[in-house]
Amino acid sequence: MWNFHDKGDRDACRSMLESLCNAALGKLKQISHLHDLFEKMKQDGPSPDIFTYNILISSFGRAGKVDEAIKIFEELENSNCKADIVSYNSLINCLGKNGDLDEAHMRFKEMQEKGFTPDVVTYSTLIECFGKTDKVEMACRLFDEMLAEGCYPNIVTYNILLDCLERCGRTAEAVDLYAKLKQQGLTPDSITYTVLERLQSGSHRKVRFRRQSPITGWVVSPLR
């Protein structure tokens, strides 16, 4: 068990890691500092905990350092800590957004095999990664799987898939998806309306817009 001093040191190290994480995107020098601090924690203490590992996986992923993120994840699995759903979500995000969709999907299956239940972040991340590489069928299949598993999409999930469908010209499916969003009781946000406005400006006019007020924004309903 930690004593008070150990916990203070651990919190300080975690705070430093978070600060470096926020500054690290695209800055190799900060990435190097992250790695150095992690090595120092392993050698001199306090020992890295699950939060430390998760910060590092996320940081390396955001910086495009996929090999480093995988290495940290593997170290986590071989440590006294064990990966949690945040660890897997961070790794899947790293892999998917850096172009390794097969590995990202493999890790998705792996986490399920290990007893983890994918959450809305897991599904939304994969849907975005597949959608942005024009693998629309896979994105839609993941959305359907999500619903079947009782994991309810949030507005972020809907916005991701709406954008994917709009960009691929699948207007009717986008309008149907918007209807599901409303049926679920979610409130469209500015991103939702931006996508719907793009749909309205396209050749297939399936949606009509009317402006209600600057406060409430767009009111949108499918054409009958």
pLDDT of 141 > 90? The answer is yes
Residue 107 and residue 185 in one domain: no
Tokens of 16: 């430093």
- Residue 61 located in a structural domain: yes
Closest CA to 134 of 166, 177, 109, 89: 166
Q: Is residue 105 in some structural domain? A: yes
When the pLDDT of each residue in the chain is averaged and rounded to a whole number, the result is 81
- Of 2-11, 101-110, 144-153, where does mean pLDDT reach its minimum? 2-11
pLDDT tens column, 109-129:
999 999 999 999 999 999 999
Residues 98 and 187 in one domain: no
Please tell me whether residues 124 and 223 are part of one structural domain.
yes
Q: Find tokens 């792996």 and name the residue.
A: 110
* pLDDT-based confidence at residue 16 (cuts at 50, 70, 90): low
pLDDT of residue 77: 93
Q: Which of 143-152 are b and which e, b meaning 16 or more Cβ less than 10 Å from the residue's Cβ?
A: beebeeeebe
What's the length of the chain?
224
Cis peptide before 214 (omega within 30 of 0): no
Within a domain: 25: no
CATH number at residue 175: 1.25.40.10
In a domain, residue 26? The reply is no
Q: 210 and 133 in one domain?
A: yes
Q: Which of 67, 84, 112 is the last residue of a domain?
A: 112
**Residues 2 and 103 reside in one and the same domain:** yes
Same domain, 207 and 221: yes
**DSSP percent split of the chain into helix, strand, coil, nearest 5:** 70, 5, 25
> Is residue 155 in a domain?
yes
CATH of the domain at 72: 1.25.40
> Domain boundary at 57, 89, 112, which?
112
User: Residue 9's pLDDT is what?
Assistant: 61
Is the whole-model pTM more than 0.85?
no
Number of domains comprising the chain:
2
Regarding whether 209 and 186 lie in a shared domain, the answer is yes
Mean pLDDT, rounded, for 77-90: 93
On whether both 64 and 167 belong to a single domain, the answer is no
Tell me, letter by letter, the H, E, C secondary structure of 61-117: HHCCCHHHHHHHHHHHHCCCCCCCHHHHHHHHHHHHHCCCHHHHHHHHHHHHHCCCC
Top pLDDT among 7 and 93 is at 93
153 within 8 A of 123, measured Cβ to Cβ: yes
Q: At which of 92, 112, 132 does a domain end?
A: 112
Angle between helices 85-97 and 66-77 (to 10 degrees): 160
Give the model's pLDDT for residue 144.
97
Name the more confident of 92 and 18.
92
Number of H helices, E strands in the chain: 11, 2
DSSP state of 31: H
Considering the domain architecture, whether residues 73 and 141 belong to the same structural domain is answered as no
15 or 108, which is more confident? 108
pLDDT of 90 > 70? The answer is yes
Q: Which domain holds residue 160?
A: 117-224
CA 24/CA 206 separation, integer angstroms: 43
Beta bridge partners of 209: 220
Domain membership of residue 176 (yes or no) is yes
What's the pLDDT band for 93 if we cut at 50, 70, 90? very high
- The verdict on 2 and 107 lying in the same domain is yes
Q: Is residue 38 part of a domain?
A: no
Same domain for 141 and 108? no
Residues 199 and 106 in one domain: no
- Which of 39-48, 159-168, 203-212 has the highest average model confidence (pLDDT)? 159-168
d(CA 45, CA 38): 10
User: What's the pLDDT tens digit per position in 195-215?
Assistant: 999 888 864 444 444 444 333
Which has the closest alpha carbon to 196: 177, 214, 213, 216? 177
